[in-house]
Chain A
Amino acid sequence: MSSKPLVSIVSAGLSKFGRHEEHVGRELFAQATKEAFDRCPRLDPIKDIEALFIGHMGESYEHQGHTGPTLADWTGLLPKPAIRIESACASSGSALRTGIMAILSGLHKVVIVGGVENMTHRTTAEVTEFLAMASDMAFEQFNGITFPGLYALMATAHMNKYGTTEEQMAKVAVKNHYNGSLNPKAHLQKEITLKKALESKLVAWPLKMYDCSLITDGASCLILTAPEIAKNFTDTPVHVIGSGLASDTIGLYQRETLTSLKAARVASQEAYKMANINPKDVDVAEVHDCFTIAELLAYEDLGFCSPGKGGNLIDEGITELGGNLPVNTSGGLKAKGHPVGATGTAQAYEIYLQLTGQAQKRQVNDAEIGLSHNVGGSGATASVHLYRRD
């Protein structure tokens, strides 16, 4: 574990996740940025920050495109270069990767990466339609296949091949709601019972309401620097030591398998190799639980268990807060919420808190290595990042 950091996170910010009727996305991003600036008093935003890379999925939600300069304006950072990155629900995971590339190239020394989405003012039917835009228009959308429907197709295939149960999926929801109850910034901060999850109304069988992440408003950001100057800004930087990004067919139906996301496997292998660590070295992980089945697939794709054994990991409590490998301590997309463009860097924000000992009631003891896993669409994009405390 002697890997050289790619970049260092010297600060991070997150808006409260939830229903923000009175705000548009740019205002939520300003809240996240304000927290990041406050947390890092040695940083002079105007003098130090050189560029913005912003994950944002869709202009449909707010009828607002050209997100990069809008957010630079609302955060006082004009006229710095500001670019929007779009990879559906993996948009800010991709923005993080882009920020890393900008620093590694030597072009910039300090950048802000983040993401934003403002979704709750839309009807469920509208959001269902906008999210489905991340799937294949010509064959999936044209046949009325929704975004939950795509993950349901994976769930059914996984149940058929490995015997995974609806109860195991529901246990993921129960765990993540418990963690969310400890996170003051989570959209939902209440526990649920297994019975309640299993009896919730059907969205796309076998997925029920409590198998699905929340439609949420929110924003997140990280301030990245070149590792050699990180200590100018903070005594407790968190280093990014591995970055993996991969793509796959836009259509789920074209994949080699329905029970695993190849992009996530490829991205995690790239990240582990770069960081020179193994899955067993990870102390805490934030994975893309847009649906409960997605978290079980993530366990397998990230090498936390062998293929088909995701259900065992949840049954054995290994990924609970007190377990050997706590997963989604923030509450995950499931309870913290899933403002799609903000999710990737919100996951990194939680890992940043965990590795700097700022996660309060949900703090994992002595966490040294963290992982985040951010998936776009039904798996056409996946990004995996690895982090190490200083």
Chain B
Amino acid sequence: MSAERPFTISSFYKFVTEKKLMAVQCDDCQNLLLPPKPMCTKCFSINLKWIELENTGTLLSYTVIHVAPEEFQSMVPYIVGIVEFENGLHLPGIIRDLPVEQIKIGMKLKIDFDPSTSNVWPEWNRYFFRPV
């Protein structure tokens, strides 16, 4: 299923549509790439494969956005954070369903997937984080 997908950001978001958190692994040096890259940036190999990650990670940092770009203004204030998944792989994203008072660096969060797409380029499905 994953072998034919090119090692691109667009493929990453196609997996998001399928509710999967995927990273790329180098077959030659085992380096992990998230975001995916078309070439291993450690050994320059193109022998790559997709791997699925556990959907739970640890919150590294967060902020509450009060001044937002146009597209996000209706959501203000919203929380964004950086989550560390297995093997030290990180993703940033919006944290939903969590009152600000309950946020703590180091807490466990789960990645979840939003079926709606944005209607401007890039028309990808969104992922977000929520409490476990």
Contact = CB atoms under 8 A, between A and B. Distances in A.
Contacts of A145: 65, 80, 92
Contacts of B31: none
B115 to A, nearest CB: 16
Contacts of A206: 63
Contact of B63 (A128, A142, A205): A205
Given A145-B80, A156-B61, A157-B60, A139 B92 contact: yes
Contacts of B70: 125-126, 129
Interface residues of B, number: 32
B9 A138 contact: yes
A146 B77 CA distance: 12
Contacts of B75: 144
Contacts of A3: none
Residue of B9, B35, B63, B75 most packed against chain A (CB within 10 A): B63
Interface string B82-113: 10000000111110000000000100000000
Given A253-B90, A254-B90, A153 B62 contact: yes
Residue of B75, B78, B90, B92 most packed against chain A (CB within 10 A): B92
A353 interface: no
A207 B77 CA distance: 13
The prevalent SS among residues of A at the interface is: helix
B69 A143 contact: no
Contacts of A253: 82, 90-92
Contacts of A149: 63, 65, 80
B46 interface: no
A368 to B, nearest CB: 39
B64 A125 contact: no
Contacts of B61: 153-154, 156-157, 160, 258
Nearest to A258: B61
A124 interface: yes
A154 B67 CA distance: 17
A124 B92 contact: no
B69 to A, nearest CB: 4
Given A148-B67, A252-B82, A258-B60, A139 B35 contact: yes
Given A144-B94, A253-B92, A204 B82 contact: no
Interface string A192-227: 000000000111111100000000000000000000
Interface of A: 124-126, 128-129, 132, 137-146, 148-149, 152-157, 160, 201-207, 251-254, 258
20 contacts: A124-B67, A125-B68, A125-B70, A128-B68, A132-B69, A138-B122, A139-B91, A142-B118, A144-B68, A144-B71, A145-B80, A156-B62, A156-B63, A156-B105, A157-B61, A160-B61, A202-B66, A204-B63, A253-B92, A258-B82
